[in-house]
Amino acid sequence: MQFAVNKTDDGKLLRAFLRECGVSAALLARLKRREGGILLNGAPVTVRAVLHAGDTVELALEDGAGESSVVPRDLPLDVLLKTEDFAVLNKPCDMPTHPSHGHFEDTLANALAYHFSTPQQPYRPRFINRLDRNTTGAVLVASHALAAAVLSRAMAAGEIEKEYLALVHGALTAPRRIEGGIRRREESIIFREVCPVGEGEYALTLAEPLAWNDHFTLVRLCPQTGRTHQLRVHMASIGHPLLGDDLYGRADGFPRHALHAVTLAFPAPKTGERIRVFAPIPADMLQKIEELGKEAVLLAKQESEAH
């Protein structure tokens, strides 16, 4: 990973410059021990080096071959955007984000390890956001430790915006602000439920209906927090569970819970530039949206395309 030294950084010690770029003390220590870990204008230096405008700082952030246990598998991978620091993928339905019990070789992580690894360097995905197995849409993954640290801090600071499109039961005709606690139901390891503010984990969702009929609504969901099953729990709590959500709603013929992560907006790890990525609406949801009419289809496509 390379950094250009600007006029505002002229005269700074390399150590201070790297800390301002998001390099943690632990990562800095690892880089100092690694041969060629820190280069200034192509030459090894100590962190006490003084920088000058026009210099180039290069960090060897590659992971060692033994640091990733993800098995590479030749699975479909829809890449929406890729740089040396991160990638945004359009996750399909019925694919877990990362390996877990019963899913060790059929996940997005396995696909990334296959498509992004090289003979010299295995790819170790570091997920910044995660989606349920049957939720589709945009997933952000950091390609190295520094990008992961910077993006994780951005997520914690609320600097990463996430928008979803969902299909929910009933006619939701006005925007809703859904606020309260979410906790795991005591007798279950999966099921979540709403609870009063002050109990469980605080959660806030903004819901805006885009089109509806008497049976279901196309809604834009903007989570302001990131709790497990937050959108599914919140919509069910106001009487509008997601279509196809047999955990918080009911079996209704839709093949999965109708939820798609349509937009991710985040600061680039290196420059801070605001990046916005759109994930096209999947075919199963688009087919259902067609029942709401042409204007609804147009709205859904506008939500999922750069504009």
Give pLDDT tens digits for 134-148: 999 999 999 988 898
Instruction: Place 67 in a pLDDT band, splitting at 50, 70 and 90.
Output: very low
pLDDT recorded at residue 207: 98
Instruction: Place 64 in a pLDDT band, splitting at 50, 70 and 90.
Output: very low
Mean pLDDT of 259-275: 95
Instruction: Place 60 in a pLDDT band, splitting at 50, 70 and 90.
Output: confident
pLDDT recorded at residue 145: 84
Instruction: Place 51 in a pLDDT band, splitting at 50, 70 and 90.
Output: confident
Answer yes or no: is pLDDT of 22 > 80. no
Higher-pLDDT residue of 43, 149: 149
Closest CA to 166 of 248, 86, 75: 248
pLDDT 10s digits, 71-114: 899 999 999 999 999 999 999 999 999 887 678 899 999 999 99
Percent of the chain at pLDDT > 70 equals: 96
Label each residue of the chain as H, E or C: CEEECCHHHCCCEHHHHHHHCCCCHHHHHHHHHCCCCEEECCEECCCCCECCCCCEEEECCCCCCCCCCCCCCCCCCCEEEECCCEEEEEECCCCCCCCECCECCCCHHHHHHHHHCCCCCCCCCEECCCCCCCCEEEEEEECCHHHHHHHHHHHHCCCCEEEEEEEEECCCCCCEEEEEEEEECCCCCCCEEEECCCCCEEEEEEEEEEEECCCEEEEEEEECCCCCCHHHHHHHHCCCCECCCCCCCCCCCCCCCCEEEEEEEEECCCCCCEEEEECCCCHHHHHHHHHHCHHHHHHHHHHCCCC
pLDDT 10s digits, 170-190: 999 999 999 999 998 888 878
Distance CA 276, CA 267 (A): 9
Structure tokens at 100: 């877990």
Answer yes or no: is pLDDT of 55 > 90. no
Answer yes or no: is pLDDT of 276 > 90. yes
pLDDT 10s digits, 121-134: 888 889 999 999 99
Mean pLDDT of 265-279: 95
- What mean pLDDT, rounded, does the chain reach? 90
What's the whole-model pTM score? 0.81
Residue 123 is which amino acid?
Y
Mean pLDDT of 274-302: 97
List C-alpha distances in Å: 298 to 29, 218, 301.
Answer: 52, 12, 5
Of the given ranges (32-36, 161-165, 200-204, 243-247), which has the lowest mean pLDDT?
32-36
Structure tokens at 192: 């979540």
Mean pLDDT of 259-267: 97
Write down the catalytic residue from 55, 85, 132, 245. Answer: 132
The set of long-range contacts for 112-120, using a CB threshold of 8 Å and a minimum separation of 24, is 112/70, 112/77, 112/87, 112/141, 113/68, 113/70, 113/71, 113/72, 113/73, 114/72, 114/73, 114/74, 114/75, 114/77, 115/77, 115/79, 116/87, 116/143, 117/72
Task: Write phi, then psi, for 184 (nearest 5 degrees).
Answer: -75, 135
pLDDT 10s digits, 187-196: 887 899 999 8
pLDDT recorded at residue 20: 79
Does 132 qualify as catalytic in the annotation?
A: yes
